[in-house]
Amino acid sequence: MPQKHFPWSLVFCLAGAAGLAAGQWFIFAYAPVEQIMGPIQKIFYIHLPLSWWALVSFFVVFICSAVYLVKRRESLDLAARAAAEIGVVFTTLCLITGIIWGRRSWGVWWTWDPRLSTALVMWFVYVAYLVMGTLDASPQKKALVRAVLGIVAFLDVPLVFLSARMWRSVHPAVFASREGGLEPEMKLTVFVCVGAMGLFWLGLFLLRKTQLTQESRIEKLLFRAGEKENQDAGHVS
């Protein structure tokens, strides 16, 4: 009988979803309304956790890719792929929420600010990473290509994080000062939302890695079947 595993992914997803639901009370009832931007500022409490956990996702891709080149374990490639997919989704949502926030704050939907520009480049790079999975090659070769790209792509991640501090940027550098520019109630709300998003991220990561493991087994069977069919066709001819 196949071994049954405890559904930790479901536990973390539900815990994260419950935390995010509770976070709505902190966002709309506990945290004060920002005086200049008004209620639209509250999108910040979703935008920031998405941004942070997107960067964590790509850091996981980098670590798993580097270790894969040494160990050549398939589980590391699958973990990197799962993290990359979640990172791209979170970055997409981060860009969308940032655009909404920027329209109210800056008066334009988009500006080629260092933070926005580096984040957009990061999004394109990791989309390219995911496209590597569609290559017509063996699973081992695709995993090797992804590992190399996963390491190279990470070069843009520190630039995204530090861009608001390194260059003149209209994007605010949250927590750049000791006070962080936030009221205590706002800080607590940020930490609640970041923690809840982290639990949700972990659940998604475990769930997607399990799915990719099953997909990998099917892909290997199909690849071997295709090779055998080509060999049989060669013998017949």
pLDDT digits (tens, 9 = 90+) for 88-131: 999 999 999 988 887 877 777 777 788 888 899 999 999 999 99
In this structure, the number of other CB atoms found within 10 A of the CB of residue 213 comes to: 14
How far lies 179's CA from each of 26, 33, 87, in Å?
A: 20, 18, 29
In a domain, 174, yes or no: no
In a domain, 3, yes or no: no
In a domain, 235, yes or no: no
In a domain, 36, yes or no: no
In a domain, 35, yes or no: no
Residue 177's φ and ψ, nearest 5 degrees, are -100, 170
Least confident of 103-117, 150-164, 187-201, 204-218: 103-117
Task: Classify residue 233 as exposed, middle or buried by CB count within 10 Å of its CB (0-12, 13-18, 19+).
Answer: exposed
CA atoms of 196 and 190, how far apart (whole Å): 10
In a domain, 176, yes or no: no
Q: Token pair of 222, please? A: 């199909």
Instruction: Judge whether 116 and 171 are in contact, CB under 8 Å.
Output: yes
In a domain, 2, yes or no: no
Compute the radius of gyration of the chain from its Cα atoms. 21
Q: Token pair of 34, please? A: 């920002």
On the question of pLDDT at 234 being above 90, the answer is: no
Question: In 72-155, which residue ranges form alpha helices assigned H by DSSP?
Answer: 74-106, 114-131, 139-153
Q: Please, which residues have CB within 8 angstroms of residue 135's CB and are 6 or more apart in sequence?
A: 141, 142, 145
Structural domain count, the chain? 1
In a domain, 88, yes or no: yes
pLDDT band at 227 (very low <50, low <70, confident <90, very high): low
Q: What pTM, to 2 d.p., does this model score?
A: 0.85
Q: By residue range, what is the domain housing residue 163?
A: 9-29+41-169+182-229
